[in-house]
Chains A and B, each alone.
Chain A
Amino acid sequence: MAMIEVKNITKSYGDHTVLKDFSVDFDQSGVTVILGPSGTGKSTLLRCINGLEKTNSGDILVDGLSVNDKKNLKQIRMTCGMVFQHTVIFPHLNVMENLIMSPMKILKTPKGEAIDKARYYLKKVGLESKEKSMHNELSGGEQQRIAIARALMMNPKALLLDEITSALDPEMTREVQNVLESLAADGVCMLCVTHEMSFARDVASRILFLDGGSIVCDAPKDEFFGKIRQENDRINKFLSFIGE
């Protein structure tokens, strides 16, 4: 059984249908990069998996739990940590407090243990010196790295990353990508919506290309950038547009 099973979901905003009878499975392994033009349902898919958006029909099972059942949302959100494009580092808490809040409040982790864990992940994202900093003392790239560390504090089986570098300059993007590459090397499962082709090329194991709310292509990375790109005009056009 796949860790995440998306079963025939349809999601509309008013008259606009974003995902149409959409199905896909994700195992708890590797890095899946979700590509596609804007407005094609990539972010919506991640938000539906995390239960932040309700689907109009169909179901999503995360570790066998349906997102349609409100009681499961807490467990599902612990299973799938999510980081957003415009991530929020809670402004009334410093970095350390941001990291330890959810494990202490939800998992009831003792404070000392939570702090040790937070220090481990801060080191992992290269920000061990920032534990006392407030959000306005951090760059955009640092905030995203803190958000990744914060999501990892809940021991998720997968990370859902929604265009987390799209609001960053190239230097900060590189910083965040380095962290993601290091996590991928550690075997952390990630579903990643991005337009960063270098990340897709270097780290992805699987590419999902969406267009018009449907899957155009679901293939291993090498196949996607090789044979499929040559054969599929839509994908070739998209990749050419973004300078790939």
Chain B
Amino acid sequence: MYRLSFRFLENPQYQELLKEGVINTLIITFFCLIFGFLIGLIVAMMRRSKMKVLRGFGAFWVDFLRNTPFLVQLFFFYHSLPRLGIELDPVIVSIIALSINTSAGNCEVIRAGLMAVKKSYYECAAALGLSTFQTVRHVVLPISLRVAFKPLVSNFVNLILTTSTCFSITVVELMGASKIINGRVDRPFEIYLLLLVAYCCITFLISMISKAVDRKIAITL
């Protein structure tokens, strides 16, 4: 009968690897969260623009990214950029690819939030003398982001889980570190079980925090 053994975790070398994996996962997640949100916001604004060119570009951006596999997008950046003379660290390539990929989902969620803000809100803000920028900054965005909060968190959770594919371009994130350790100790059951539990704990924690935040910021329109 198979006997579980986690003794390999006592090895300082593997502890270091796991630490590196956690740090890289956090770095990639943190930057992709920010850039993915900002790009998503900009593209969502484009999709709501009165200019046909911007609307068209926004629609193309979302459709293209959502209809192509992330792994292919990741490989495209990893293998193509050096041919253009751009040599980047795999972590940075991961951040670029994952930010762009996440932006498509974020764009649609933010766009739905923007669409929830009725014309009367814009008129009311205009009648108070607010400029278009002030209306967007102080009225439209705070309302639409509250509406979009829950699906944005869902995208965020998805982003964390997707970082696990970055090992395929040599990034030593959680999945990459686990794979290396497994290659040396051959304990796939223990290592991948640990990994599943770790991802589950992280996303569960985020889900709990987001529920608490949502209770604070939720609005009824």
Contacts and interface: CB of A to CB of B under 8 A. Distances in A.
Interface of A: 50-52, 73-74, 77-78, 81-82, 84, 86-88, 90-92, 101-102, 105-106, 134, 136, 150-151, 154
Interface string B125-165: 01111110010001100110010000000000000000000
Nearest to A47: B123
Given A90-B139, A92-B143, A92-B146, A102 B128 contact: yes
A88 B119 CA distance: 10
Contacts of B127: 50, 52, 77, 81-82, 84, 151
A105 B142 CA distance: 15
Interface of B: 118, 120-121, 123-124, 126-131, 134, 138-139, 142-143, 146, 217, 219-221
B126 A77 contact: yes
A76 to B, nearest CB: 9
B129 A78 contact: yes
Contact of B124 (A78, A88, A134): A88
B127 to A, nearest CB: 4
Nearest to A79: B129
Given A88-B124, A106-B134, 14 more contacts: A51-B126, A74-B129, A74-B131, A81-B127, A81-B128, A84-B127, A86-B120, A87-B124, A88-B118, A91-B219, A92-B142, A92-B143, A151-B128, A154-B129
A101 B138 CA distance: 9
B124 A84 contact: yes
Contact of B128 (A51, A77, A91, A134): A77
Contacts of A88: 118, 120-121, 124
B130 A106 contact: yes
9 contacts: A50-B127, A52-B123, A81-B128, A87-B124, A88-B118, A101-B128, A106-B134, A151-B128, A154-B129
B129 A106 contact: yes
B109 to A, nearest CB: 18
A74 B126 CA distance: 8
Contacts of A87: 124
A101 B143 CA distance: 15
Contacts of B221: 91
A78 B128 CA distance: 7
A136 B220 contact: yes
Contacts of B123: 52, 84
B121 A90 contact: yes
Contacts of B131: 74
A105 B134 contact: yes
Closest 7 CB pairs of A and B: A82-B127, A77-B129, A102-B128, A88-B124, A91-B219, A92-B142, A78-B129
Given A90-B121, A92-B219, A105 B143 contact: no
Nearest to A77: B129
A154 B123 CA distance: 16
Contacts of A134: 219
B128 to A, nearest CB: 4
Contacts of A90: 121, 124, 139, 143
A49 to B, nearest CB: 11
Contacts of A73: 126
A70 to B, nearest CB: 11
B108 to A, nearest CB: 22
A86 B146 CA distance: 22
A150 B128 contact: yes
Given A74-B131, A91-B143, A52 B126 contact: yes
Contacts of B118: 88
Contacts of B121: 88, 90
